[in-house]
Structure 1
């Protein structure tokens, strides 16, 4: 509530659409976190990745293939594929954004965000086992209005944007919003290697390989056009076009230590002796080019020697390029929502088309050398259609039935280069300088579902909720590793085929069938184990029934109590992975979560305090994780696997309190206890080739990338000045507990080798720990009738922290968070 002066004095009513219709958030029996568009802007959130600043129990991380994973209450999927289905759905005005790579521009000109915790399969569909995020965009207005906002910040950041909104005719109105963010880089090279540019081992002829001592530049553009057509009170149509580009530098990792991924070669000396990055959010190192590798093409051998004394090789001219460590990503979405009121019912149609195109160069070893680098290419197209009909049971309840269809086509390719690693040379029968390889995963998916839900009042105080959804999905994937054109990987593939023949049958059958430019992955088809030139095609067809049963009680004034039991599913998927054998292409099958949630929403102190709390328990079956599959030649190889049985339990508590006029205190706390409860044996992140001992038993361990405790608190005080102006000061505290980026070898199994003692690596790195961190932000500003000014400092203490840790070829890395940022903004409304 607000006084006549505009200063807040109590908890405001928040209208949400969590059940596909408008309701007061305190009347909905489920855990819903909301944040207004103003709160999102004040926190400096420009991407879903940072939504955890305001939403307790929500985390995001980016892996070494640039893929983003969202996790809520311990439910997430740490896959590297571009088109990997996630456990948390993201939408704008209920229009789905089905893949995390597409969500980068969702935060623009928002009214609010609604975060629904726990499985949401009945109304929001599959791939919502963790929850759902629904952004509500500001709509066109009947009167002309607009805003211009300009911000400046550290590292020469320049943030400019705004909107225009108003009528075109009596029945048609528009809204246009745009935003551009540019900045210099915040990373610096801690080895200061401007003069240590590459020799032809890294860069081939005709390319500029000069070293830039600064990375992390931002270059973002975001836009949204909305047209609202309302010819009558009974019909409305909202057309929306979203378009954004991201040409920013890619995130840079921090080198921590070197180790031998393969025992077939010695750790390259320059990796073994590479200096560890300092504990500084800005420190990093990177190669000047991505994927400018030497290969075994004899035409590129000059007769000279390189800095390592090996024959100088100018690289494969088909693939060599000085690709920047930067993105060139583009997203377009067109959606149409139509609502017809037909008597006491409403018919709603949701139609959308989304396309995302990616090209990105990634530094994936944290050094200036080419131990592992990746050039990513990809494209996703989705079409979505939903029809639903909603109505009322008189004054006793409501109902909704509907159906939807989604078609997705994706191409996920990357060119991986690892010229200076233990993979080169890889000796079986001959020494092969293992060159770049192209990994691809082309998928086509069709998903159909029908659903229904009812809310029925058993009495004035008791409300019963029942819902169900049947989903059928057909998925087809064509995958392989493709020789880059010079025959090097084809030769390697043929030697693996021959060796597999020898191991399996006791003799060589032939010389293999991999050819230059074709697929070279070994099949599982004895006795020849031949590859298929155009890749391997697989199908995964699944169906399921998600459901919900809930009971809520509102017999206590300003309070609500509820119990929900919900079953949700996440679809199976195929990996995008640098495979050597088709055993790595086995898909993970769908996972399921049976959720129990008991909660309450309490309005206290005459509207000055709101306390929401929930306890939850998830019975988790076939959780999907990145693991390994054993190979008799190469050892444990990465793949996707299902964990048979696990569970998550915890509590969510949030409060909003106005102890005096103008002072808002909003703390929140989430506790998450995740555990693998059944037998699950696999290999940890440092298992290497050939086999590094037996598999490990991870039963009893928590999930990777799931902190146990979260605490957040936002405080703001506003007071009135003469002339109607308001001043405010505020701050935000964001605490997140420690976790690990993978399952850990605890070295407690008798007769099983211990990773920590068998791998030469720092003890503090073997767990791939992500340490706890506490971030503090401060803000202050003044709001006038038409003008607003704000100044802020984020990460006030300049705390060193990292969001992810990983081991790639021969290095262990961290991805650091942002350093201290400070800036100011000014806006004008008209």
Structure 2
């Protein structure tokens, strides 16, 4: 324990030294650069970024090539016939947006929760992606500079040196492939340019928080430009762990080198490397069932997780991207996107949320991914603009899960206390206890507790059956491995026909051929357990020598090949010079799941989403008021829901579900120096009463998990110019969400009531924005809310609750040269 602590402290000291050295290196050219800055002031971006007109080229709705022009005040995407939001890197900085969870406050229809770097959750229009199993694909596609990074353990990347972020809502499978059933998020990072520039952002706050990012850009020759961006963020953790250390903290280091090679006047190749490591402390899975050592079950008070400082994550991400943009002639361009990604993430978590050795879980995920896309764009200036191409995707993933526990503690808390859950009839079968008749649950509980009080290290049931004392295994350890190998080849095409000067018709299609192989293998305990004969997690069929997992006696596999077709049809009208409207229909798809267990494999059908959408975008009052409104209706079939069964998460076909909603984004320019942003989202997402065969559904009428019926946000951006190139700014924002259930079964115990968060950023800029000194605060009112509830512990009768971040505040300093 002491060695581990000293190693972490040395790591932090080394990281701070590295951060300081990089910061000094970036500050070194300040003297020469400031003169250049004074001669050519940099633009300041303060809001959502506008996109190039979709009517000019259909690739404008493809996030790989969408063009965003930053102005003094960014504007809504007005010409793209898709419900989407785009925010520049400057806006992210202005509003102190540091991750996807912060971003979701400003995007109607999008919600994100970040339990940890290893377990993010993304939800667009009621469809949630938060299943980390190796065999699962995402419903929400996440792209980093055009490369799919949607596997959840590797999707939560540091947002630094960003050019912009695009969020598209609704089925985007035509444009983004197999994982974009409900939407797409594209992270577009700054690329090398033909200029000498540098900058940094430094923030210090409570909970020993420090965040630093910096970049340096320079030409290396007439046709080669280089850029280096670095990032470091750490805080000790918001909640104390009485068993040692703190929880819900951060410890991230990332570096991104990139090179751009110009090939003539209108072609280029860009190489981008991404390396990131996260070593935060453990997640605060807090029990309301078992109190801490002081007798408290307050979720927002100190936790008492028994492995102390051993809890935590060690996640390593690596990637290499090559972007090619080639002009073939005046009408044709070729885009090539090549990506390689590697994820290696290990986590130790306390799933029971208590000081006892009940459900201690270790996970280790490794994945390797390669992708290649070739896309041809056509635009001859006539009635048709189009693109089409081929893409290949390869992903190999392996997840190891080990559960460790002390049977002498596991038995009273999980087995004895859980008898009513195991036997809802109220009677324990006599055969399990060697008795001729069934016995009432309360009576059996009383007998077992009496035996445990007298002989706490002896299994009373096993001893009764075998007529000899059977000691508990106090160091029980068993586990399993899930694996997945995916190969997918896609062909896609999308074209826009400019029917008239004011009406465009767009159609797109993507055909995918997938080959999926899944595997499952149980790793038996080395010392036999004493509970496996009960078979409580296996339909009362014995699983000895294990207690939880039925032995597989090697690796069980399943495989299949599948073909899918998705598409979209969009009509776009320019109603007037300041109003655009559109209507669309689309088909989205979540791929088949090959689910493997000790009994064999099962193939679940693909989840299908049919979408109808209409929207209107425009401006009024000479551009001082901007609006973007969309309405939609969804129909889901073969909805894939995750449940916990046989001591592991599996996917079940939950049947049909429906949703309809309204999304609204409004901006108003109050004066030359102040603007107001307002976002609102309404969604009614419920499981249908009957399945496709007319049979009643188990969850009929239930809300889809993690989906608030209503959410809204309001932000003010106010600048007060002063003499000498200075300005004072104020950036208050407030976000609110209605109540949500954390599980599809709508268990009222796993529920978050409506809540709102108030954030604030204010400060002073100098030298026309070259320098910035500010103060910031998040959750200014100290609102108490939950990130998640139930979790793995709930399946053992030990639900846990993850508290959200408390009030945080600090100072910031930034400079651009």
Listed as ranges, the matches of 1:736-751 within 5 Å are 736-744=737-745
2:311 aligns with one of 321, 325, 337: 325
Q: Which residue of 1 aligns with 2:81?
A: 29
SS at 1:606 equivalent = coil
The alpha-carbon deviation at position 353 of structure 1 amounts to: 0.3
Q: Which residue of 2 aligns with 1:477?
A: 518
Q: Which residue of 2 aligns with 1:819?
A: 806
Q: Which residue of 1 aligns with 2:711?
A: 710
Q: Are the equivalent residues in 1 in contact too, given 2:135–2:518 (CA < 8 A)?
A: no
Q: Are the equivalent residues in 2 in contact too, given 1:65–1:80 (CA < 8 A)?
A: no
The alpha-carbon deviation at position 670 of structure 1 amounts to: 0.5
SS at 1:705 equivalent = coil
1:768 aligns with one of 710, 728, 750: 750
Q: Which residue of 2 aligns with 1:96?
A: 148
Q: Is 1:608 paired with 2:621?
A: no
Q: Is 1:351 paired with 2:351?
A: no
Q: Is 1:374 paired with 2:385?
A: no
Give the distance between the partners of 2:116 and 2:460, measured in 1 at CA.
23
Give the distance between the partners of 1:734 and 1:468, measured in 2 at CA.
37
| Between structures 1 and 2, the one with greater helix share | 2
Q: Are the equivalent residues in 2 in contact too, given 1:243–1:332 (CA < 8 A)?
A: yes
Q: Which residue of 1 aligns with 2:61?
A: 18
Give the distance between the partners of 2:147 and 2:207, measured in 1 at CA.
35
Q: Are the equivalent residues in 2 in contact too, given 1:9–1:658 (CA < 8 A)?
A: no
The alpha-carbon deviation at position 84 of structure 1 amounts to: 2.8
Q: Is 1:235 paired with 2:267?
A: yes
2:176 aligns with one of 102, 105, 124: 124
SS at 2:305 equivalent = coil
Q: Are the equivalent residues in 1 in contact too, given 2:399–2:481 (CA < 8 A)?
A: yes
Q: Are the equivalent residues in 1 in contact too, given 2:252–2:280 (CA < 8 A)?
A: yes
Q: Deviations over 1:277-317 (max 9, x none)?
A: 3253x54221125xxxxxxxxxxxxxxxxxxxxxxxxxxxx
The alpha-carbon deviation at position 342 of structure 1 amounts to: 0.8
Q: Which residue of 2 aligns with 1:136?
A: 188
Give the distance between the partners of 2:214 and 2:223, measured in 1 at CA.
24
Residues 499/675 of structure 1: CA separation in 2 closer, same or farther (3 Å cut): closer
Q: Which residue of 1 aligns with 2:613?
A: 597
Q: What are structure 2's unaligned runs of at least 5 residues? A: 1-40, 54-59, 69-76, 416-458
Q: Are the equivalent residues in 2 in contact too, given 1:669–1:709 (CA < 8 A)?
A: yes
Give the distance between the partners of 2:395 and 2:96, measured in 1 at CA.
33
Give the distance between the partners of 2:377 and 2:653, measured in 1 at CA.
38
The alpha-carbon deviation at position 535 of structure 1 amounts to: 2.1
Give the distance between the partners of 2:630 and 2:277, measured in 1 at CA.
39
Q: Is 1:668 paired with 2:679?
A: yes
Q: Are the equivalent residues in 2 in contact too, given 1:279–1:800 (CA < 8 A)?
A: no
Q: Which residue of 2 aligns with 1:506?
A: none
2:558 aligns with one of 535, 538, 548: 538
Give the distance between the partners of 1:8 and 1:245, measured in 2 at CA.
30
Q: Which residue of 1 aligns with 2:73?
A: none
SS at 2:575 equivalent = coil
Q: Is 1:225 paired with 2:257?
A: yes
Q: Which residue of 2 aligns with 1:779?
A: 761
With 248-257 and 557-566 compared, the bigger mean Cα shift is at: 248-257
The alpha-carbon deviation at position 569 of structure 1 amounts to: 0.7
Please report the TM-score for the alignment, with normalisation by the length of structure 1: 0.79
Give the distance between the partners of 2:338 and 2:532, measured in 1 at CA.
49
Q: Is 1:627 paired with 2:643?
A: yes
SS at 2:263 equivalent = strand
Residues 587/41 of structure 1: CA separation in 2 closer, same or farther (3 Å cut): farther
The alpha-carbon deviation at position 639 of structure 1 amounts to: 2.6
Give the distance between the partners of 1:366 and 1:788, measured in 2 at CA.
42
Q: Which residue of 2 aligns with 1:792?
A: 776
Q: Which residue of 2 aligns with 1:654?
A: 665
Q: Which residue of 2 aligns with 1:178?
A: 230
Residues 456/18 of structure 1: CA separation in 2 closer, same or farther (3 Å cut): same
Q: Which residue of 1 aligns with 2:321?
A: 335
Q: Which residue of 1 aligns with 2:482?
A: 441
Q: Are the equivalent residues in 1 in contact too, given 2:116–2:248 (CA < 8 A)?
A: no
SS at 1:620 equivalent = strand
Residues 251/497 of structure 1: CA separation in 2 closer, same or farther (3 Å cut): closer
Q: Which residue of 2 aligns with 1:365?
A: 352
Residues 471/643 of structure 1: CA separation in 2 closer, same or farther (3 Å cut): same
Residues 637/222 of structure 1: CA separation in 2 closer, same or farther (3 Å cut): closer
The alpha-carbon deviation at position 743 of structure 1 amounts to: 3.2
Q: Deviations over 1:51-89 (max 9, x none)?
A: 213222222235799532211110114424256311111
Please report the TM-score for the alignment, with normalisation by the length of structure 2: 0.80
Q: Is 1:460 paired with 2:449?
A: no
Give the distance between the partners of 2:812 and 2:722, measured in 1 at CA.
20
The alpha-carbon deviation at position 14 of structure 1 amounts to: 4.2
With 349-358 and 368-377 compared, the bigger mean Cα shift is at: 368-377
Give the distance between the partners of 1:473 and 1:165, measured in 2 at CA.
41
The alpha-carbon deviation at position 167 of structure 1 amounts to: 0.3
Residues 61/555 of structure 1: CA separation in 2 closer, same or farther (3 Å cut): closer
Residues 398/336 of structure 1: CA separation in 2 closer, same or farther (3 Å cut): same
SS at 1:111 equivalent = strand
Give the distance between the partners of 1:254 and 1:349, measured in 2 at CA.
47
Q: Which residue of 1 aligns with 2:599?
A: 582
Residues 66/788 of structure 1: CA separation in 2 closer, same or farther (3 Å cut): closer
2:410 aligns with one of 399, 421, 424: 421
Q: Deviations over 1:774-827 (max 9, x none)?
A: 000011011222311111111000000011101242322211110000001111
With 10-19 and 137-146 compared, the bigger mean Cα shift is at: 10-19
Residues 644/575 of structure 1: CA separation in 2 closer, same or farther (3 Å cut): same
Residues 603/489 of structure 1: CA separation in 2 closer, same or farther (3 Å cut): farther
SS at 2:512 equivalent = strand
Q: How well do the aligned residues superpose, as a CA RMSD in angstroms?
A: 3.1
Q: What are structure 1's unaligned runs of at least 5 residues? A: 193-210, 259-269, 290-322, 502-511, 523-530, 682-694, 746-764
The alpha-carbon deviation at position 484 of structure 1 amounts to: 3.2
The alpha-carbon deviation at position 397 of structure 1 amounts to: 3.2
The one of the two structures with greater contact order (alpha-carbon pairs below 8 A, sep at least 6) is 1
Residues 498/441 of structure 1: CA separation in 2 closer, same or farther (3 Å cut): closer
Q: Are the equivalent residues in 1 in contact too, given 2:680–2:713 (CA < 8 A)?
A: yes
The alpha-carbon deviation at position 214 of structure 1 amounts to: 3.1
Listed as ranges, the matches of 1:147-546 within 5 Å are 147-189=199-241, 192=242, 211-257=243-289, 275-278=295-298, 280=300, 283-288=302-307, 324-343=310-329, 344-419=331-406, 420-422=409-411, 433=472, 435-488=476-529, 500=541, 522=550, 532-546=552-566
Q: Which residue of 2 aligns with 1:564?
A: 584
Q: Deviations over 1:102-158 (max 9, x none)?
A: 122241210110000000011100111110001111111211110122211001111
SS at 1:803 equivalent = strand
Q: Are the equivalent residues in 1 in contact too, given 2:314–2:346 (CA < 8 A)?
A: yes
Q: Are the equivalent residues in 2 in contact too, given 1:230–1:236 (CA < 8 A)?
A: yes
Give the distance between the partners of 1:136 and 1:327, measured in 2 at CA.
27
Give the distance between the partners of 2:531 and 2:604, measured in 1 at CA.
28
Residues 332/427 of structure 1: CA separation in 2 closer, same or farther (3 Å cut): farther
Q: Are the equivalent residues in 2 in contact too, given 1:572–1:589 (CA < 8 A)?
A: yes
